[in-house]
Amino acid sequence: MKEPIIPFFVADRLVSLRIIKSSGLHKYDVKVGIMGHANTSKHFQDLFQIYPCTDNEFCDIINGSCPYNYDLKKCSAGSLIRKRTIRACDSGVFTKNGCDRAYKDLFKIYQNMDADYGIVIDYLKDKKKTIKSASDALKEYKKKDYSFKLIGVAQGNTPEEYLECYNGLKKLGYKHIAIGGLLKKLENTARYTRVRDETFLYNVIKTIRDKYPDDWLFVLGCYHPKRHDKFNELNVFGGDYKGWIFNYEKKPFLTAEAAQKDRFLQIHEYIETKIYKKLNGSFNDLLILACSQKKIKSSTLLPAIERYDGPSYKVLRKIMHSSNYNNSLDIAIISAKYGLLQPNENIEDYDLKMNKEIANSIKNKVIQTLRKQISNKKYENIFINIGSDYSLAIDGFNKNLPRDTKLLYADGKIGKRLSQMKKWLEERHIKSI
C-alpha cells in the first residue's frame, strides 16, 4: 500500500513553529512536514534545527518550562513529534528578498537547519535557467557529504515544457524532483499563495505521472486539504501549504493575549480536523454521557469535562490525556440543569439531580440538538453510558440515524457500564505506538 501524501506547513517565524508543535501531532500516528527557507533569521534557523525543542523558558508541548533540560530523548511527546515530522528548506527565491546566494552558502544554511530535504534555486517558467541552476547545485552537492537530500525543481509554461524540464533533471541524476511555478502572485505583494489554474496544476502532474508513475514527486506551494485525495491518487509524496496559519476568525473584543490563545486554538482545531484526522483515516465517534453528581468545587466557571468528577469522567480524562489518544472522539453530556452540553462549555457548580419530570421537560430540545450534531458529523459509532432517567431525555433520538452508524449502549450496574465504556474507548481511541 502506498504512503499517503505528506502535508508540509510553511513556517518562517517562531509563532509558526509554536502553533505546529502544540497542535497535537503526538496523538496521531501520521507524518507531516515543515517547510522553512534560507531568508529566515538566524534565530529562527537555530530553532528549526532543534525543533520541536525551543531555547526559551516556555514549551508549548509541556505548556510550561522544560522539565527535561532540553533533552528530547526524555520527552515522549516531543520525541514523537520529531519522529513524525519531516523538515525541508527552500532557497527563498520567491520571497521578497529573493535568493542571491552561492550554492555553497545556501547548502550551509540547509545543513545548519538540519533539513531532511533541500531545494535548488529555480526560475519561474524558465526551464533552461532552472536546469542550469540544478546542474550547478549538483556539482556543489557532490563536493561534501551533506545530510539532506537534494530536490530539483521542474519549471515550464506548458505541461510539455514541464515534462522536458523533468527529463533534463532526471538526466542530471536527480531522484527527488518537485514541480514549481504553479502559484500566482498576489497583487501589491511579494507573496505567491494561490494556485494560478487548478486544471493546469493537475495536467502538469498527470503529464509527468504518465511517463514516470512511481517517481518521488513533490508539489511546491500547492497542498490544500481539498486537494489531498486527488494528490493521493496521483501518488504525490508531499506538498507545502502557506495558508494553514490563516484559518481563524478574528475576535476584536478579546485582549491581545486572549486573542493569541484563541487564534492558536482555532488553528489547532483546523489542523486536527482537516489534516491529522484525514491522514489518520479516523472517523469521529460520539460518546453520550450523563452528568455526574460529584463535581469539582469552584466558584469560577469550569468546562463541563473538568467540572464533572464522577468515575466516568475520571476514566475519560485519563484516556484523553494519554500521549497516544487519537482525538477522534466527540462527547455530548446530558445535564439536568443545562440540557445537552459540549465538553468545553463553561458551567457553574450546581446541585440538581435528574428525574423523570426534568428529563421530559428538556427532551425535545436535547433530541433536536443531538440529531443536528449527528447529522452534521456522520458518526461511525455512538456509545451511550447513561442511567434510566437520563435515557428518557433522549428517547427516540435514534430515529433516522445514518445507515452506517453503529449504536452501542452500556448496560448493567455502574461498575459494569464503566468497564464497557473504558474498553470501548481504549479499543477505538488509544492509538498503538
pLDDT at 432: 46
**How are the residues of the chain apportioned to helix, strand and coil, as percentages rounded to the nearest 5?**
40, 20, 40
Average pLDDT of the segment spanning 357-375:
93
Tell me the average pLDDT of the chain.
90
- Quote the CA–CA distance of 137 and 430 in Å, as a whole number: 45
Lowest mean pLDDT among 18-27, 107-116, 370-379: 370-379
The separation between CA 139 and the C-alpha centre of its own chain, rounded to angstroms, equals: 37
Average pLDDT of the segment spanning 317-336:
84
Name the more confident of 9 and 327: 9
pLDDT in tens, 398-420: 888 877 788 999 999 999 999 99
pLDDT at 236: 96
DSSP 285: E
Go through the domains of the chain in sequence order and give each one's CATH number: 6-280 (3.20.20.70), 285-429 (3.40.50.10630)
pLDDT confidence bin for 282, thresholds 50/70/90: low
Write out the three cell numbers for 228. Answer: 489531498
Name the more confident of 273 and 369: 369
Give residues with Cβ within 8 angstroms of 425, minimum separation 6. 287, 315, 316, 319, 329
- Quote the CA–CA distance of 49 and 103 in Å, as a whole number: 19
Average pLDDT of the segment spanning 357-373:
94
Note the residue count of the chain. 433
pLDDT at 431: 60
Phi-psi region of 400 (alpha: psi -120 to 50; beta: other; left: phi over 0): left
- Quote the CA–CA distance of 365 and 424 in Å, as a whole number: 28
pLDDT at 276: 87
CA distances to 256, 259, 262, 284, 297 from 23, rounded to whole Å, are 20, 17, 13, 18, 30
pLDDT at 7: 97
- Quote the CA–CA distance of 62 and 66 in Å, as a whole number: 7
pLDDT at 309: 95
Name the more confident of 27 and 209: 209
pLDDT at 1: 45
Task: Return the closest-CA partner of residue 308 out of 367, 348, 361.
Answer: 348
Buried b (16+ CB within 10 A) or exposed e, 309-347: ebebbebbeebbeeebbbbbbbbbbbbbebbbbebebeb
pLDDT at 281: 61
pLDDT at 187: 56
pLDDT confidence bin for 116, thresholds 50/70/90: very high
In this prediction the pTM is 0.68
- Quote the CA–CA distance of 49 and 130 in Å, as a whole number: 28
**Is pLDDT above 80 for 57?**
no
pLDDT confidence bin for 21, thresholds 50/70/90: very high
Percent of the chain surpassing pLDDT 70: 95
pLDDT at 327: 65
Place of cell 457548580: 349
334 in Cβ contact with 366 (< 8 Å): yes
DSSP-based three-state secondary structure for 359 = helix
- Quote the CA–CA distance of 256 and 276 in Å, as a whole number: 28
**Is pLDDT above 80 for 277?**
no
User: Mutual orientation of helices 103-112 and 42-50 as an angle, nearest 10°?
Assistant: 50
pLDDT in tens, 159-214: 999 999 999 999 999 999 999 999 876 555 555 567 878 899 999 999 999 999 99
pLDDT at 69: 85
pLDDT at 415: 93
pLDDT at 433: 35
pLDDT at 375: 81
